[in-house]
Amino acid sequence: MPQYHAPLRDQQFVLFELLDTEAHLASLPAHASTDRALIDQVLEEGGRFCSEVLQPVNHAGDEVGCQHDPVTGAVKTPPGFKEAWDQFQAAGWPALSADPEYGGQGLPAIIGSTMNEMLNSASQSWAMYPGLTIGAYSCLHAHGSAQQQATYLPKLVSGEWSGTMCLTEPHCGTDLGLLRTRAEPAADGSYRITGTKIFISSGEHDLTQNIVHLVLARLPDAPAGTRGISLFVVPKFLPQGEGATATAGPRNAVKAARIEEKMGIHGNATCVMDFDGATGWLVGEPNRGLPAMFVMMNGARLGVGIQSLGLMEVAYQNAVAYAKDRAQGRSLTGVKAAHQPADPILVHADVRRMLLTIRAWTESSRALALWGAQLLDTHLSHPDAQARQDADDALAIMTPVIKAFITDNGFTCTNLALQVFGGHGYIREWGMEQYVRDARINMIYEGTNSIQSLDLLGRKVLGDQGAKLRKLGQPMREFVEAHGHREDMAEFVNPLADLAAKVEKVTMEIAMKAMGNADEVGAASVDYLRLIGHLMTAYLWARMALIALDHGGSKPDGEAFYRAKLATARFYFARLLPETAGLLVSARAGAACLMTLEADLF
């Protein structure tokens, strides 16, 4: 069965050497006292929980899955899940990045994101339960009334209650303007929510005392489309009292009609939820539910990228261990393990190609995701309004990229890890095929990767004539100017500068074509997002290579960590970045080859 050990050394490299987290947090009054000693302690304990408590229940989560009682609607989680939750709650992990006013520990998002990576490496299915709870907390923290915050936030922060978000309906997924769930006002100021929601992660389970559903629905006089959507908080049990002393009272009229039988993430209860006149309360303003829910959705999109990062890391660890142990054939350059009848498959060039591909995407995805988390901390906590706005603008560009680029690469990497195992990878007992199945959903939920691509190009880039993108690119231009003179950095800086110029040019070309035909945006968007993902990744790898070089990574006697980091950077620029040449061609191919074929001929 797979094993997992927290990658603390590389996490510390990204946090403290690449992103200079200590200095960054010192500029944020809310986090100025959070030093490296505290961060290291938190991550070490988190890694221990993930490897010793959570990872051992992952297999049962996949094999046994969740069990649904069709009469009561109750869902029993897999063996060990409840026990792991109890330990998670007792240790205070749900409160890690939450507001101290509601019982949280107040640590920055960048630490919560690092912990989230480890949770998902250990068990993505289990990690979804606290992940959705964090999203519900964030939404109510931003948009809930004072009474709602006092009632729900302490319980969500403590882990006694959990949360969900209920958007999708049988007839509408991405197009939420079509949703039909109704909200009828009641005399006491509450509402009666009626409708069916599908694909509701963590919709019903036995981990917590109560489940707090955030539900999109329409008021009777609501305008059509997305402008007529309101947001409601609909608990499984109606709360009695407020704050830490609140209890779960009478059962509400909400029930899991069934759980979905899925390709992967079997340990998470993905439910069809029936709301039959359930009592709910309006969150925020009427008909303004979608902007409120986007607090949760954007956080979830960043979280989904981290889900795939977690899967890449654990798949890599196990594929490397297998490649070092599995003996098959001899090296093409001569015997390497004379004491064995065959050499370990790690000697073979293509096995190394697969492993280095996984490693390069994993390490750059960690850097990209934590860069995004650092920007989130700036947006939430920086004392300067312009700094907060700049961070928000950068996150607008980065959120769809973190979601789509990392999850696309995550599926590629888990497939490659399975391939390293050969036939054994296809057999369930080795655990690798679970990672492939689990990784596949990440490209779909929280907005498919195609939708992320349309959002990036159509709304985030062309929507303001590229202003946000140019602002995000400024640090890249400064890096090129600062280090372009170094001969030992030429192999990294020159390709970065070249790609940046080509991205600027192709962006202008697409913008011009889209003025005459909006389909040009849809035709180019997926390739375009991948280009932007590579641009960010090349920038991060160039920065990481600089650090490695300055720490002796190019010297035979240099520290092993930096030599490995430099070698992986060189692999990325030599083997993965050249994909951009094809992406530029296909992004320029236009809409005609896609849209001219009549529908009847498909």
Q: Is residue 431 part of a domain?
A: no
Which DSSP category does 229 fall into?
A: -
What pLDDT is attached to residue 562? 98
Dig out the tokens for 328 from the structure: 């098959």
Q: Is residue 487 part of a domain?
A: yes
d(CA 154, CA 539): 41
What pLDDT is attached to residue 66? 98
Given a contact cutoff of 8 angstroms between Cβ atoms, the answer to whether 399 and 391 are in contact is: no
Q: Are strands 161-166 and 210-217 parallel, antiparallel or unpaired?
A: parallel
Dig out the tokens for 380 from the structure: 């939430």
What pLDDT is attached to residue 512? 97
Distance of CA 372 to the CA centre of its chain: 11
User: Which residue pairs, CB below 8 angstroms and at least 24 apart, start in 589-596?
Assistant: 589/523, 590/513, 590/520, 590/523, 590/524, 591/517, 591/519, 591/520, 591/522, 591/523, 594/519, 594/523, 595/519, 595/523
Q: Is residue 308 part of a domain?
A: no
Q: Which residues of the chain have pLDDT under 50?
A: none
What pLDDT is attached to residue 298? 86
What pLDDT is attached to residue 15? 98
Return the active site residues.
Answer: 446
d(CA 223, CA 211): 30
pLDDT tens for each residue of 90-141: 999 999 999 999 999 999 999 999 999 999 999 999 999 999 999 999 999 9
d(CA 490, CA 477): 15
Give one DSSP letter per residue of 264-318, joined into a string: S-TTS-EEEEEEEEEEEEEESSTT-HHHHHHHHHHHHHHHHHHHHHHHHHHHHHH
pLDDT tens for each residue of 406-435: 999 999 999 999 999 999 999 999 999 999
Distance of CA 213 to the CA centre of its chain: 21
Q: Is residue 561 part of a domain?
A: yes
Provide the phi-psi class of 590: left if phi over 0, else alpha when psi is between -120 and 50, else beta. left
pLDDT tens for each residue of 263-321: 999 999 999 999 999 999 999 999 999 888 888 888 899 999 999 999 999 999 999 99
What pLDDT is attached to residue 287? 94
Residue numbers of the domain that contains 490: 461-602
Q: Is residue 528 part of a domain?
A: yes
Q: Which helix (H) or strand (E) holds 165?
A: strand 161-166
What pLDDT is attached to residue 226? 86
User: Other CB atoms closer than 10 Å to residue 79's CB: what's the count?
Assistant: 14
Given a contact cutoff of 8 angstroms between Cβ atoms, the answer to whether 164 and 132 are in contact is: yes
Which residues touch 329 (CB under 8 Å, ≥6 apart)? 342, 343, 345, 348
Q: Is residue 484 part of a domain?
A: yes
d(CA 247, CA 238): 9
Q: Is residue 582 part of a domain?
A: yes
**Domains in the chain: how many in total?**
1
Q: Is residue 177 part of a domain?
A: no
